[in-house]
Structure 1
Amino acid sequence: MHVEALTRICPPPHPGRSVNWPAVEQQLRLALPADYKQLVETYGGGVFADSLRLLEPDGADDMYDLVAQTAERAEILDDLWEAGEPKPSELLDGDIRLVPWGLKEDAGHFLYWQARPDQEPEEWTVLLNEGRGPLWEAHPLSCSRFLFEVVAGTSTSTYFCDLDASVTSEGRYRFRPNSQIFSG
């Protein structure tokens, strides 16, 4: 897991938070990856590198709440696919769920786990949807590794590989917690 490496380049500004994970997983009817739980417990919800927001359970705003967004995104995607938008090939075989865990600030790009029933949560692939269109990217990485690569500037994602053009060097290695963002 890459949480420890992430804390070295992007120190958490405060303790994360305690979460009742069994209750969250019961609401989702799904076990969550251990590295995601560690990220939330270390950082809480908020924004990394002025660009990638980590969703958290029981967030202050439904837009950034893991459980609320899981339900909302499932409904939105079902409506899009019923309206004729093509489903990504990664979702065509089996009973796969998409569970959102992050989003790109100001762009509408959601990051999902491709939750396959035949895989452990730590084996799930990260899928990114551009949000305002039909393009998807698959990254066979854990969410902590994907996040580490975004902050470190080594991401191969089309949507995060050019952060240096839009993020200051100070912002690149900063985490802003939701508590700070929502308070003013």
Structure 2
Amino acid sequence: MKTIDDLAALVPPPTHPIDASGDWKQIEDALGLELPADFKALIGSYGLGQFVDFITPLTPFGSRNLLLQSAQQLLESERPFREASPEKCPYPYYPEAGGLLEWAGTDNGDRLCWVTGGHPETWTVVAWNPRGWYYDAHETGAVGFLYGWLSGRLNTTVFAANEHVTAPWLEPFRELNHVYIKLTDSQKTYPERLRVLREALSPTADRGGYAGGDGRQDHFDATELGWRLTYETAYNHQIRIAFPPEDEDQVRSTLLAAVHSMGCNVLSTTTHRGQPVWD
């Protein structure tokens, strides 16, 4: 069984984790559940942040109180769909007995949940895609799941493998805006388009990627600008960018010029929650 020490050897924790400590008893009293020790160690070591720009553990501390917020909304948000299609909902939902309780989310909107029946040290993980109603059970806890997926030793049917990121990282939380720019195709090849995009944002630094079938993702930083980007065809042909709110005008002008140089047109620009921007 993998421990927090194994995960820390794979992904060094931040020196000063954000929203990493507080009163666990108060949180457990509010939930009516004792939480697994490995999850408490995970939050204590890493705090609020995102692993490889994708998985965000839900810390219960700080102003956002992500763990409780998700728990309090889960059953009511899923009840209408379950009543209409019970055959697609094989698990109960917290606070129902043994119900799923979310402990992390992904950048795609997937949920990583515990099956909460029995002693918390025996809770296992279910990866869940609420958009397509896919569930994938794993006989491991939160830290074991993260270690396995980040190291490429564990795969799930709910989202892509992490086998192409050889040096996984955690990015501590910063207040960032997130914009998705969906694009038309271009006569330039994918590598040519990627080169044009990175030259427009130079200097840049790799943050891993993914290639499988017809889909590809390339993650990188615009290091002097402090922007994080993904260029991909894995889900849509799009650029995803995260940036400090005060950089909005610069991001818009820089990215739209780069898109033109890539030989593409913009189909839409939205936040990561689907709200239109840059009209």
TM-score above 0.5, yes or no: yes
Secondary structure in 2 aligned to 1:86? helix
Aligned equivalent of 1:20:
23
Maintained 8 Å contact 2:128/2:158: no
Q: 2:8 corresponds to which letter in structure 1? A: T
Aligned equivalent of 2:109:
108
Aligned equivalent of 1:36:
39
CA displacement 1:161-183 (0-9 Å, x = unmatched): 52345xx54xx5110122x3559
Q: 1:14 corresponds to which letter in structure 2? A: T
* Unpaired runs of at least 5, structure 1: none
Maintained 8 Å contact 1:153/1:161: no
Aligned equivalent of 1:74:
75
What displacement does 1:159 show? Answer: 3.5
Amino-acid identity (%): 28
Maintained 8 Å contact 1:153/1:163: yes
Pair 1:174-2:158 in alignment: no
Choose the corresponding residue for 2:98, options 69, 90, 96.
Answer: 96
Seen in structure 2, the aligned counterparts of structure 1 residues 132 and 59 have a Cα distance that, compared at 3 Å, is farther
Q: Which has the higher helix share?
A: 1
What displacement does 1:72 show? Answer: 1.3
What is the distance in 1 between the residues matched to 2:37 and 2:124?
14
Secondary structure in 2 aligned to 1:102? strand
Maintained 8 Å contact 1:58/1:67: no
Maintained 8 Å contact 1:59/1:66: no
Maintained 8 Å contact 2:67/2:103: yes
Q: With CA pairs under 8 Å and 6+ residues apart, which has the higher RCO, 1 or 2?
A: 1
Number of equivalent positions: 173
What is the distance in 1 between the residues matched to 2:162 and 2:39?
23
What is the distance in 2 between the residues matched to 1:144 and 1:181?
26
What is the distance in 1 between the residues matched to 2:77 and 2:62?
20
Secondary structure in 2 aligned to 1:163? coil
Give TM-score scaled by structure 1 length.
0.83
Maintained 8 Å contact 1:150/1:161: no
What is the distance in 2 between the residues matched to 1:60 and 1:49?
24
Q: Which has the higher strand share?
A: 2
What is the distance in 2 between the residues matched to 1:114 and 1:125?
6
What is the distance in 1 between the residues matched to 2:24 and 2:43?
11
Cα RMSD of the aligned pairs, angstroms, is: 2.3
Maintained 8 Å contact 1:126/1:141: yes
What is the distance in 2 between the residues matched to 1:181 and 1:11?
22
Aligned equivalent of 2:136:
137
Maintained 8 Å contact 2:91/2:99: no
* Unpaired runs of at least 5, structure 2: 177-242, 245-279
Maintained 8 Å contact 1:86/1:134: no
Maintained 8 Å contact 2:100/2:114: yes
CA displacement 1:19-55 (0-9 Å, x = unmatched): 2000000111111000000000111022112211111
What displacement does 1:160 show? Answer: 4.5
Q: Which has the larger radius of gyration?
A: 2
Seen in structure 2, the aligned counterparts of structure 1 residues 181 and 155 have a Cα distance that, compared at 3 Å, is farther
What is the distance in 2 between the residues matched to 1:52 and 1:155?
14
CA displacement 1:1-26 (0-9 Å, x = unmatched): 52111101100122342220000001
Give TM-score scaled by structure 2 length.
0.57
